Chain A
């Protein structure tokens, strides 16, 4: 559908009601479309996913390739949903928590500018390595637990929002119908009273 020329303002900030997640939640489930008739196509779609996983594991996609090629989509979607930036921030934080390599003893610096201090740091690191490993392992466990907790909380919040909006919608529909009837009535009265 050809639409009017669209401005893509840098400060684009439209409404959350148009977020794809909102629409998807309020619509029917995705698996309603899954058709046993098209198992070969489902298999092809699965092959696509497998090929991508294999290539990704082999490091076949240069860094930033996919990110750079998504520029148009990202630009449009940032303007489309009010919550996108906040959601992205939560996802980034969740990814950080979910990545165990962020909590690793090897990330603790033990070097120094002077030879003596360098030696001292390395000795202390060697002496305390058992404790450091235990602490980072505990932090990893904690991060994993926090990751699960936030993921579950996000799901619960979304469910609460859905329930609330459904109930509100249920109350609004009869009101809308009444308003429509009143509008019709007004139009009829206007027509009756308009000069012929």
Chain B
């Protein structure tokens, strides 16, 4: 098959979960013999959408990548004003304001929709990643109805999802791929169903190995038990709450436990002797960090999947997850690989239990690994994905034959 992906950013060192997810699907399809191309922006950073990558095409792991310039970096003041009105305002904003908001959300790649319109018929299917950004909002209508279109919204519970412009967007594709049951329920309850749908998840590399000693030596961590968080440091990711929880936990339960935070600091954290911030780390170091930890912490309130969690389970680590996030609580229940908590009291009790009970840690680790092996090995995921692609193409053809019949 000839497949075109459309995504806001693309590259091996892009930290975003949905961007990584897109790259992994593209590369796995290429590895299975499909011809895969990607249309994306030249941006590396989502906070300003500055043109960083060169404009020329490049091949990354057998995937041909076309990069489009961003014609306007984000005007943060204009964005904040529109955001207050469109997302947080008491009444529904005008359609014009919503359109302007999408332009400011960015990355505004004005050549991309016309490129999709021109080239999309060269492909058997066009796949769009992430519902929120300009390339999808402008690109999906350019392809829908002309070729089969598959949408991977990576949606989670957030106020942006209620902006009416997305009602139109979610009606466009022939098929939708979800990452979890919870994401599917959220989208169906908000937008209804599309002809072809499936919960496909995201694959996980089960062969990855980490070296705990390398990470402990590199960061001078000794033999202390470690609680590890991988992700951005900001309130929406639950990491500020996790920092405060940990601080109080240590005051109430003195021990040599340390919290390791690996990820970009969108909000800066105060210094704490038992909290170690590494900043963003590459994939190899990430595996070492997971291997070194006693337990993995996922405190985010809003997740559509959490690849970091399945990676921790693949490396046989027990997890402690945010129970206020339906996706994480659902994954914890289905896998038996994590304890979930709601609020500080449960966090404290769950962490005490994990630290004091090695048999429980072992049990969670085994359950997590088994869950990932059964559900998220790439072969299983890609079989589901290719089946969904076939059904999406069939749905497109059915729609068109129905349309032809209606036109007679």
Interface residue ranges, A against B (CB under 8 Å): 1-9, 11-15, 17-18, 20, 22-24, 26-28, 33-35, 37-38, 40-41, 44-45, 47-49, 51-52, 55-56, 61, 65-66, 69-70, 72-73, 75-76, 79-80, 169, 172-173, 176, 179-181, 183-185, 187-188, 191
Contacts and interface: CB of A to CB of B under 8 A. Distances in A.
Most buried by A among B185, B189, B238: B189
B182 A27 contact: yes
B192 interface: yes
B18 A1 contact: yes
A17 B162 CA distance: 7
B248 A45 contact: no
A2 B341 contact: no
Nearest to B303: A1
A56 to B, nearest CB: 7
A15 B162 contact: yes
27 contacts: A3-B160, A4-B105, A5-B47, A11-B90, A12-B159, A14-B159, A23-B157, A23-B186, A28-B185, A37-B336, A38-B335, A40-B336, A44-B357, A45-B339, A48-B339, A48-B346, A51-B349, A51-B353, A61-B344, A70-B241, A73-B238, A169-B192, A172-B192, A180-B172, A181-B403, A184-B403, A185-B403
A12 B162 CA distance: 13
Interface stretch (B23-31, B76-84, B204-212): B76-84
A172 B189 CA distance: 12
Which 3 pairs from chain A and chain B are nearest by CB? A38-B336, A27-B185, A26-B189
B2 interface: no
A3 B350 CA distance: 30
B399 A184 contact: yes
Contacts of B364: 41, 44
Interface in B4-30: 15-19
Interface of B is mostly: helix
Nearest to B195: A177
Nearest to B49: A4
A15 B158 CA distance: 10
A65 to B, nearest CB: 7
Interface in B117-163: 130, 132, 144-146, 154, 156-162
Interface stretch (B271-279, B326-334, B379-387): B326-334
Nearest to B323: A45
Q: Which of B87, B105, B248 has the most CB of A within 10 A?
A: B87
Main DSSP-derived SS at the A contact region: helix
B189 A22 contact: yes
A39 to B, nearest CB: 9
A181 B235 CA distance: 42
Nearest to B19: A2
A28 B402 CA distance: 32
A179 B171 contact: yes
Contacts of A56: 345
B358 to A, nearest CB: 13
A27 B341 CA distance: 21
Contact of A4 (B46, B301, B340): B46
B324 A73 contact: yes
Contact of A45 (B235, B236, B340, B344): B340
A26 B182 CA distance: 11
Nearest to A13: B90
A41 B352 contact: no
A55 B83 contact: no
Contact of A80 (B17, B145, B158): B158
Given A1-B304, A27-B186, A52-B349, A7 B406 contact: no
B46 A187 contact: no
A44 B321 CA distance: 14
B326 A23 contact: yes
Given A41-B363, A45-B339, A176-B171, A35 B333 contact: yes
Contacts of A76: 235-236, 301
A51 B345 CA distance: 9
Contacts of A37: 336, 367
A70 B344 contact: yes
Contacts of A20: 157, 326
Contact of A18 (B46, B159, B324, B334): B159
B367 A38 contact: yes
Contacts of B402: 181
A49 to B, nearest CB: 8
B391 interface: no
B363 A40 contact: yes
A45 B24 CA distance: 34
A30 to B, nearest CB: 8
Interface in B239-278: 240-241, 244-245, 248
B219 interface: no
A195 to B, nearest CB: 14
A83 to B, nearest CB: 13
B171 A35 contact: no
